[in-house]
Structure 1
């Protein structure tokens, strides 16, 4: 079977078909916009779903657009055993492209365009795998249904709608992540917390602080104003903290005091080690200044103690933990605002399977309470998504991957981020990004390797044959 699949996709026509199909999908600017009548995600995603249906029908599949939430394509009329979840919506193009983001360009074996990797290229791979199973007359006893979504990038309400009206399949995977396979997505905990106090007059003190812009991003910038102190009074400490952290401080005169800007480096909250947290670096500097003994100073010192620079594991907060299967807890102090009468803040924790309410949520609240800081609102823990490695789905998909890569040591992955199957019982993420390849996801010049996409087609073909045969 493997030899027949190889021969099928090694034919030049398959390469041309793959590029042509991806090009048609990329040409549709499918960024979510305001809802319109019959278009819950706006005209772009609706047009992309229509194009997905047109492609599937041209390839001989029964396909339909379901109220512009999702589109589906079925391989046969048998009972469905497998759902493949891809999406046709994309993030905005942003700036810095060397090509037109909505024209698929091939150069030196690479495709460039918004969606070539996330997730229009993988959707085309799934369609061509279904086509190969049919053309090669591989024996099937059950159906595979490709579900093409229109809202993955903005919350996956498309799948919530679909599964509120349709049953789950025995097996589900999404080609919207990484190979070899992701079977664990860590849980999420991101409470709001803070403290208030009466207006203060003592000097020197911090009168305002602002840092971060999104919960799931390591804050690249933070700034504050310190009344009653001058830049020269802070210069030595700023150089010391800059050398220790790598963050860059800019000091300037401000009305009645000092303005401090801290430049760090952003990264996804699921990988905080890749960034430089500007908020915690700024707190490290402020904790060294000769500030007056007052509530705002005590709040800054407490935040520095609980969230010291470089502690991306929550050790100081008392929630650090890890297990062999899913790895360590990660923490990103994402947002902080301080005014003359209080402060608010928010962190983003991705916790492993061993975490629970007692050793994570309750432990965090107890640590904050020791400094008079309280969690506000209902901050619950979103549980991890975990599909055991010994399930038939995981074993079969990994075996298919190993067959085409020769990577006999390939093992399931645990990640801090979430994928399209996070809320799907038994679902896993499987491809299309191969180890070591950077697709420039959500960035300018998003790219995909043609050869890697064709290999993904082969892997998916074998997976369909084994799961539905």
Structure 2
């Protein structure tokens, strides 16, 4: 179908439904859909199940056929004359929140002009609703389809995508799939991922000054915004000097408190997505390791282990240079690496890093290289290969069709990109990520004060609807 046949009607429909769409996104944002304790019939807890139920009610109210796959995910179908050929994958679960939001509370959406703040507005409730509104637009404008479209909304994308494992254990992959959970113009390469735990058993040697405990990070794919440590035997002057040097080097805020025979230190950085550790985040954990490196600690095995970590994961090294794995290729770009979890208690140290690797990465030049470097410092890394990269050829008809829809509404050429993040399509043969972030805008995904640009979402409705028509109409 020629774009000119429906363009004006589609534009008018999307603009007329702007506020309604914003209200529907806000209703979903009010649901805390962070993964919780599994219950009968609710594999990811109460919140994700409630978000699925709310979206199911919305889709059914607009006449879509909805199916619930055991509260792992739901689907909404837009029928065509023949079998469906397009799946759109999005998710309704969200990552945990901090107490440091300033614009509003995470689950109290706030609209300011054309911005909507709240956890999930950008990742991924806003884009999910935009995709649903694109299907609504095609349906309500009476544009006939030769092939059907299915919107698949999951509830475990942030914690392993077991929802899709469940779904694809029942259903087949569509001929084409896109996920509005990343960037425009289009992502056809998702880098390999290596997220590994490593450990060390350390003697409880408390010769002073010494580190007693460390607690930093909660999820491997989130750059930690805070880090806490307890020390013994440090003076106020030593703490002040190390804090000053750390703040100057890292821009993190360091505070401390003296209590009886312990010194408690708190480092405040800025959270962010581990796939983009150099995109405005301030890693509080590696800032804490720098702080420790500036202290006159006793030469215990614990001290040497922590100083070893500070050497292997120095603050600001987001590309694995200190580990000797700063790989790069022209098509998929640079490797990124972030140390995101560190726990030390009673002589047991556990840590976890998150690495996103380009197409040139192998088990030999990445996984085993990191293992060897960690072993030199006394750490043992868990076994297991990296998750392979995902790649769909840039010259495929599917990619070209999506880029044409992008170019119609953005008015400029679109080029496929590579990212470090892994989206829902990572394990699919014919899937790409398509929207909704735009170049030059940091939506603070996984961070404080996450927001979405409603103007971009309205444009996304038009683009997704145009894509549906071009592929299925």
> Which TM-score applies when normalising by structure 2?
0.84
Change (3 A) 1:25 1:367: closer
Post-superposition Cα deviations, 1:287-316, rounded to whole Å, max 9, x if no partner, equal 344433332232232222222222121111
Give the drift of 1:439: 4.7
How much has 1:336 moved relative to structure 2?
2.3
Answer yes or no: is the 8 Å Cα contact 2:339–2:354 preserved in 1: yes
Q: CA separation of 1:52/1:309 partners in 2, compared to 1, >3 Å: closer, same or farther?
A: closer
Matched pairs, number? 466
**Equivalent position to 1:198, from 200, 203, 207:** 203
**What is the SS of the residue equivalent to 1:382?**
coil
Aligned CA distance change for structure 1 residues 4 and 57 (closer, same or farther; 3 Å): farther
Matched, 1:87 2:88: no
2:330 alignment partner in structure 1: 324
| Contact 1:25 1:51 survives alignment (8 Å) | no
1:4 counterpart residue number: 5
Gaps in structure 2 of 5+ consecutive residues? none
What corresponds to 2:405 in structure 1? 400
Q: What is the Cα deviation at residue 42 of structure 1?
A: 5.3
Q: Secondary structure at the match of 1:190?
A: strand
Greater CA drift, 454-463 or 94-103: 94-103
Contact 2:89/2:153 (CA < 8 Å) preserved in 1? Answer: yes
Q: Which of the numbers 165, 173, 191 marks the counterpart of 2:170?
A: 165
Q: How many Å separate the matches in 1 of 2:102 and 2:285?
A: 30
Kindly state the Cα deviation for residue 421 of structure 1 after the two structures are TM-superposed.
Answer: 1.9
SS class of match (2:325): coil
Aligned residue number for residue 23 of structure 1? 23
TM-score normalized by the length of structure 1: 0.85
CA RMSD between the two structures: 3.5
Superposition deviation, residue 468 in structure 1 = 2.2
Of structures 1 and 2, the larger Rg is shown by 1
Per-residue deviation, 1:360: 0.9
Give the match for residue 183 of structure 2: 178
Deviation at 1:228, TM superposition (A): 4.0
Q: Which residue of 1 aligns with 2:225?
A: 220
1:287 to 293, 310, 317: 293
Q: What is the correspondence of 1:306-385 to structure 2 with a 5 Å cutoff?
A: 306-339=312-345, 341-375=347-381, 377-385=382-390
Query: CA 1:21–1:328 in 2, change beyond 3 Å: closer, same or farther?
Result: closer
- Is 1:90–1:114's contact at 8 Å kept on the other side of the alignment? yes
Secondary structure at 1:27 match in 2: helix
Closer/same/farther in 2, CA of residues 85 and 349 from structure 1, 3 Å limit:
same
Q: Residue in 2 aligned with 1:456?
A: 460
Give the deviation of 1:169 after TM superposition.
0.7
Structure 1 residue aligned with 2:130, among 122, 125, 132?
125
* 1:299 aligned onto 2:305: yes
2:423 match: secondary structure? coil
Instruction: Map 1:265-280; keep pairs closer than 5 Å.
Output: 265-273=270-278, 274-280=280-286
Contact 1:187–1:381 (CA under 8 A) maintained in structure 2: yes
Aligned-pair CA distance for 1:431: 1.6
CA contact (8 A) 1:211 1:223 kept: yes
Cα distance in 1, alignment partners of residues 123 and 52 from structure 2? 15
